[in-house]
Structure 1
Amino acid sequence: MNKKILSVLEFDKIKVQISRYTTTAFGEEAVKSLEPKMESQVVKKLLDETEDGMTIYRMKGGIPVPNLQDIRPHLKRLEIGALLNGLEIAQIGKVLYTTSELVRFFEELATSELSLKRVYELAEKLESIPSLSGKIRAAIEEDGRVTDEASPELRTIRHQIRRSEMSVKEQLDGLIRGKNAKYLSDAIITMRNDRYVIPVKSEYRSVFGGVVHDQSASGQTIFVEPKQVVELNNRLRQQQIAERHEIERILAELSNEIEPYRLEIMQNAYVIGQLDFINAKATFAKEVTATIPRISDERHVELKQARHPFIPKEVAVANDIVIGNEYKTIVITGPNTGGKTITLKTLGLLQLMAQSGLPITAGEESTVGIFKEIFADIGDEQSIEQNLSTFSSHMTNIVSIIDKIDQDSLVLFDELGAGTDPQEGAALAISLLDTVAASGAYVVATTHYPELKVYGYNRPSTINASMEFDVDSLSPTYKLLIGVPGRSNAFEISRRLGLDDSIINVAQQLVDGESQDLNEMIADLELRRNMAETEYLEVREQVEASEKLLGDLKNAYGYFFEEREKEMLKAKQAANQIIEEAKEESDKIVREIRKKQQHLGTSHVKEHELIQVQKDLGDLSHEDAHLKKNKVLQKVKEAQVLKPGDDVMVESYGQRGTLISTNGKGQWQVQLGILKMNLPESDLTKVKPEKTVQRDIVRVKNSEGGSRKRVESQLDLRGMRYDDAVHELSMYLDEALMSGYSSVIIVHGKGTGAIRNAVTDYLKAHRSVKSFGLAPQNMGGTGATVVEFK
């Protein structure tokens, strides 16, 4: 993509802003080399990485990448056989240590099942070298100093040095105190030429003997190494030389151990830099409230509530910018300082950012296209050196743009055709827009010419737009209105500023009739648009209210039939009971009649007549015929028919359960939590399945693998993973409730607080929990939670 567009739209300022969030040399270089890509798959990959970074930032506060120096020069020196100093080895060691920490970090992310699109794959390229990393950390401090633990020899030498220094200082302390103090310029011990000396007045230089190492600028003080400490200083010096040689040996040994891992360390540094770059993009997104756009392969651009990233969110006016689907050319008109130019720059810059894999300052689900070139003619580029006027400079730029555009281009024209005769400028602008449209390019142009308003109305795939202006406050609102051309507000503004109506009336008569009609048409369009927006909001509010009312009605409708069916069932059960009693009484009467007939030896009543009477009594318990024909009622009844797997409410317990099987005698086996119970069908009411995913019912196992014989009043979750702890807690609370406990204790430990937070979140949502809080000190304190049940 041409470099000029990056300068015109100030893309480099975005890069500077992001680079402030980097912490590594490779990360900073990745930002500096950032530029728009023209391949859809590459852009999607970069945006996926950025989205991963934003997810990690939101869940974990970002990827833990510390400040790392550029270690490439150090590795290059190793390649040619040179040895590294302590600081260079320390910087390499920090890269190795960071690698180990990042490997551990991403392993924990994977364990927590955080879904990422690409960063896991990038993190897999990190190669941890724990043995080398540990050795460097033990031997070299972060500032490059070699530690006493680097080798036993170094520890011994440094111990001897400390003892020798103490001996020297003790000797010199005896010399500078008491009667000798009068010979000294100051009663202190100092260093000259790496040897301990005392400041002696020059006239007493012979009092202490020894060696003179230096004198003051005035010559009145000399720095003397007294003869009493010369031998001690010599011994100390030899020990210091031995220390330096041992340090050199240790650094050489470490350098030789690092050298075989040069390529692995370089790759780790590069991958860490890429993670740092991703982290910087995520931090930038958080600071400017940016989102990840979708990519349209058809180059349909839909920026929702887009705003320029350099304008603070609190003051920026967000606009919807749409191009590419129904129209490929937008002509924006409106007053000066109304926001036309900033709208152009917002569209262009957000496109560049998205094609560079950056988040954009627009609303969720915004869409961008992939353009191979973006051109812009924005601003006054007149050149004194080249003797170019404003119009000439614009036209020179436009000529170069016309030569390069094609169907994969986005063109931004600011004040097209300005700087020359209005009539000629308008005609030239129309011709240029036709030329760009013929190439298939996408174009957004701003203008003051009224002729282009008609152009935007008449040309296919072209639409008018304008920047709204509030005549009442005499100020622009910076709101983009798609589909409405801008109109001149000169007469209205002049009238509000106090210009005499007679002058305005004369001016209006001088205006060309067509222009006056056009302004009136635009004013009418604006009025109609405002009315349509008001009506849309009212209709939307009414639709939402209607949807809510419909939902309530559906619920009430279902509840009505459910309650009616219950009442009818109760009535039928009562009727059947009466009929059963009547049948028993009739059977008794029939038996007595038969006995009397047998006793008398006569039969005035036939046997089949008795049987028919009994059958007629039995038929009384059947449903009425009209109930069988009621289709609505039959559907409700069918919905209430119980079958294995249905969710039911056990009325006597007030708890949900799941049907397992029936014995065919009105009894059902029901799963209640971990319990299975046989219950009468009359105690069960079919209910809708819960929306949440139901867990499989399993018997909770103890640490030895067997089933719990009884439920304890305390559950220990320490050492468990997050998901296992939540599952264990869920099962335990069901058992505790079934066992009749009024309160239990959940032991989660202190640690990082992750298990405690999981317990807290779960208890908040549990409907049977009355209250909970941290346990008293004698029951575990902050490492345990006491739960009270309702």
Structure 2
Amino acid sequence: MEKLFSKLDLVDYATGFKHFLAREKPLFMEGDANLHYKLIHELLTRDRLKPLPEVPSLDVALMHLSKMGILRLSEIFAFVQIINYMQYLKHMLNDQSLGEWMERILIPAEVAQICAYFDEKGELKSSVDEQFASIAQSLKMVKEEMNSTLRRLISTEKIALYLADKQIHYINNQEALLVRGGFNHVLKGNVIGRSSSGFFYVVPEALAKLASRESELIDRKEELVYKYAKQISSVFTKQLKFLGFVNKEFDRFDAYYARVAYAREKDMEFVLPSKTNAIKLENFAHPALANPKPITIDFSKQVLMITGVNAGGKTMLLKSILTAAILSKYLLPMRIDAKHSSIGSFKEVFAILDDPQNVKNDISTFAGRMSEFSKLFGKKVALIGVDEIELGTDADEAANLFKVMIEKLIDKEMKIVITTHHKRLASLLATHPEVELLAAIYDEKSERPTYGFLKGTIGRSYAFETALRYGIPQSLVAEARVLYGEDKEKLNELIQKNIDLELEMRKTSEELDTRLHEVEKLKESLRDEKERVREEFDHAYSKMSKEFNQAIGEAKKAIKSSDTKESHRLLNKANQLHQETRKVIPDQKAEPLHVNDKIKYGSSKGVIKSIKKEEATIECDGITLRVPLSKLKRSGNQPKVHKSGVVISKETPSGSMILDLHGLRADEAVEKLDKFLSDALMSGFDEVLVYHGIGTGKLAYAVRTFLSSYPSLVSYGDAPINMGGYGATLIKL
């Protein structure tokens, strides 16, 4: 792993990331990558948590516990720090998936009790045992007495003559004075060392008893600490499985926290590996570059062959593709537009970038390359990067050899990125359906590479121009051009013209796409505006119609108690007003819909997948639905149609609410009544009046018989006395 990171210029990146880890661990995280990705994103959305405590690896301590061993106090405190932090997380993370994870970590009561024994410095608290407080107080008094004795000696006039300085020195955990030779005449003590200047470090005899007392107190404290370490280790042995579990979960959260903290500091994003092997990078920047030009590339086929100008970014593009795959594999953050990027999943990543020539191993450049390639034929589903594939041998022989080898690797589902100046190798592989060509672009006006790339073409190397740029005399380059030949130079010019034409076409295409997108947005906006206006109109019309009908109803109720002739006159006038103000909205002819048409269903947009009779199967927002065709509207491009507006017409009222059948035969009366009722229904009348008289009763009988079988009637019966009584029939529609 370190070797691969070194080849891809990721050493500084890895070093920076490790600074955020509480303790060193592998970059790879065991378990479900989708779950890791989900929890990392949850952690990104939360407020910052306090950093994890730095603790050592506890694998050896766990092994000692499994063998009934006794842990050192520092090892016990490391476990205490881990458990305290997990308790903090349980308090802070109490919802979503992180909360569910923390709920599964149940801390035993006896372990939680042990955590309360320690202070922040990792020392056992005085409250645990009174002897700790007593020993601490005694040690403090001894220290003060020792300092007092030393200061008294320093201030003694006889000794002051032999002192090199007036400081108290700590040598081998003992307090000593620094004195000159001959000190034995005025000071008794033990020499414990010499300085670089030839002076002596002396522990005065007056401190011997105090030092002995101090040593006794320290020994008592160590015995007491050992006693509690033994008790705690006994409890930890019983809880060995829990300690192993919480130690592992601490490492897991440490891996999440470090990734999130690093991503926040560097403004990076995460990309979850997809199940395919396609690589689509949007605005990716290699971590090693200080001022990178973000790259955007769609590498969907199995082989990407990069050609073009020297020092034009070919190798860095190769490293960027491999770097993105590695960082995605280990769920490490990167500078990328994650929303529009996709990176495949690969079991292994191989980088064949360096010159493998090694005198000690007696191997040449080409032999070393072949040795690395030979290992690939036993692999599957791997990503391979090869820089300067033609390195170290004859160009024509290598072109044919590498063509065969690359085709074999394609059969093994390998994904390969190659940089080369071999035009022959590029031309041999150009027609393969799984090979993509990419050319590094050179700006002839500025005589500089643009660090951009053009898809689908073979690029020039621009060796002469690069040589000039890096200091080779122009006369030598001119001589080389002559030797190179006019025909080959013309071929290079044709290649460059092809590249320039491709760039111009791409620029024109992008401009047209932008304009087309703007037009489509405008058309969509106009369609939405039209629908909005129509909805407002329908709403207003419905409201006015309702109010009008209510007014008519009230008028009818008032008229029923009035004079007959006057009521007829007013009702006919109301009907006339209704006819004059009625708005006729012609039905819009439904546009024919076909499979793959873009449609709008309610507020959702989708595509028609199939049509069966009057129903269609559509896909909206990733959901498949079956809906009536009448509920769908076209969205997007549609055939031009003549605008159909809202027509408001004024019609001459042809209907009446009263029919007089006096003097007609029964069959004539029925025919006229049938037409009258049809007109009344079309006019929207709620109530009509038919005069037939009393006479012999035959005409009244014919009317009642016809009405008994007529559809769309609410009721019918004799009219009120003031409207004709038995000689008329009041019909409610």
Name the TM-score, length of structure 1 as normaliser.
Answer: 0.60
Amino acid across the alignment from 2:396: Q
Work out which of the residue numbers 204, 207, 213 in structure 2 matches 1:223: 204
2: CA distance between counterparts of 1:494 and 1:237? 76
- Match for residue 22 of structure 2? 23
Conserved? CA contact 1:579–1:621, under 8 Å? no
Matches within 5 A, 1:634-645: none
Residue type of the partner of 1:20? H
Measure the CA separation in 2 of the matches of 1:418 and 1:164: 76
What does 1:312-711 correspond to in 2, within 5 Å? Answer: 312=290, 315-324=291-300, 327-365=301-339, 366-401=341-376, 403-406=377-380, 408-487=381-460, 489=462, 510-511=486-487, 516=490, 519-520=493-494, 523-544=497-518, 546-548=520-522, 550-551=524-525, 554-555=528-529, 558-559=532-533, 562=536, 566=540, 591=563, 612-624=568-580, 627-631=583-587
Other structure's SS at 2:416 match? strand
2:135 equivalent to 1:148: no
2:76 is aligned to 89
The one of 92, 95, 105 equivalent to 1:126 is 105
What is the letter of the counterpart of residue 304 of structure 1? E
| Residue aligning to 2:238 | 260
Provide the C-alpha distance between the structure 1 equivalents of 2:220 and 2:519, rounded to a whole number of angstroms. Answer: 89
The answer to whether the Cα contact below 8 Å between 1:375 and 1:411 also exists between their aligned partners in 2 is: yes
Contact kept, 8 Å, 1:300 with 1:369, in 2: the verdict is: yes
In the aligned structure 2, how far is the partner of 1:445 from the partner of 1:557? 54
* 2: CA distance, partners of 1:194 / 1:505: 78
Task: State the Cα distance separating 1:399 from its structure 2 match.
Answer: 4.0
Distance 1:20 1:192 in 2: 34
Aligned partners of 1:490, 1:219: CA distance in 2, in Å? 72
Change (3 A) 1:134 1:420: same
- Cα displacement (A) at 1:567: 8.6
For the 8 Å contact 1:123–1:271, the answer to whether it is kept is no
- Partner Cα distance (1:319, 1:78) in 2: 53
Provide closer, same or farther for how the CA distance between residues 624 and 17 of structure 1 changes in structure 2, counting only shifts above 3 A: same
Identify which range, 369-378 or 217-226, moves more after superposition: 217-226
Q: Please report how far the alpha carbon of residue 340 of structure 1 lies from its aligned counterpart in structure 2 after TM superposition.
A: 1.4
Give 1:308's aligned residue.
Answer: 286
Aligned to 1:659: none
Q: TM-score, normalised by structure 2?
A: 0.64
8 Å CA contact retained: 1:202, 1:222: no
How far did residue 257 of structure 1 move? 3.7
Q: 1:468 Cα deviation (Å)?
A: 1.3
> Residues 14-93 of structure 1 correspond to what in structure 2 (within 5 A)?
15-24=14-23, 28-31=24-27, 34=28, 45-46=32-33, 48-62=35-49, 64-93=51-80
SS of 1:29's equivalent in the other structure is: coil
CA distance in 2, matches of 1:419, 1:241: 70
Structure 1 residue matching 2:419: 3-state secondary structure:
strand
2:600 is matched with none
Partner of 1:30, secondary structure, is coil
Q: Is the 8 A contact 2:430 2:436 kept in 1?
A: yes
Contact 1:196 1:233 in 2 (8 A): no
Does the 8 Å contact 2:308/2:441 carry over to 1?
A: yes
Residue 173 of structure 1: how far off its partner (Å): 11
Of 279, 282, 289, the match for 2:260: 282
Deviation per residue, 1:117-162 (Å, 9 max, x gap): xx55654553424554444444x33444443222234435555666
RMSD: 5.1
The CA deviation string for residues 95-137 of structure 1, in whole angstroms up to 9 with x for no partner, is 2222222222222xx1xxxx44xx5565455342455444444
Q: In structure 2, do the counterparts of structure 1 residues 134 and 269 end up closer, same or farther at CA, with 3 Å as the change threshold?
A: same
Partner residue, 1:99: 86
- Secondary structure of the corresponding residue to residue 478 of structure 1: strand
Spell out, residue by residue over 1:236-257, the C-alpha distance to the aligned partner (whole angstroms, 9 max, x if none). Answer: 8877766565454444444444
The answer to whether the 8 A contact 1:467-1:479 is kept is yes
Structure 1: gaps (5+ residues): 206-211, 592-606, 634-790
**Cα distance in 1 for residues equivalent to 2:186 and 2:569:** 149
Local SS of the residue matching 1:535: helix
Matches within 5 A, 1:178-217: 185=160, 214=190
CA contact (8 A) 1:350 1:361 kept: no
SS at match of 1:511: helix
Residue by residue over 1:595-637, the C-alpha shift from the partner in whole angstroms, topping out at 9 and shown as x without a partner, is xxxxxxxxxxxx6x5553243123134254862454479xxxx
Give the letter for the 1:23 counterpart. Answer: A
SS at structure 2 position matched to 1:481? strand
Q: 1:85 to 1:546 in 2, by over 3 A?
A: closer
In structure 2, distance between residues paired with 1:17 and 1:222: 47
Residue type at the aligned position of 1:21: F
Task: Tell me if the contact between 1:328 and 1:442 (Cα under 8 Å) persists in the aligned partners.
Answer: yes
Q: In 2, distance between residues paired with 1:458 and 1:404?
A: 26
Aligned residues: 573
C-alpha displacement of 1:23: 0.9
- Once the two structures are superposed, residues 657-682 of structure 1 have per-residue CA deviations (whole angstroms, 9 ceiling, x without a partner) of xxxxxxxxxxxxxxxxxxxxxxxxxx
Amino acid at match of 1:305: N
Cα deviation, 1:435-481, whole Å, max 9, x if unaligned, reads 43454533332221223443344332322211111111212122222
Deviation at 1:413, TM superposition (A): 2.9
- Structure 1 residue 273: Cα displacement: 1.2
Higher RCO (Cα < 8 Å, 6 or more apart): 1
- 8 Å CA contact 1:487–1:523 kept in 2: the answer is no
Q: Distance in 2 between matches of 1:308 and 1:567?
A: 63
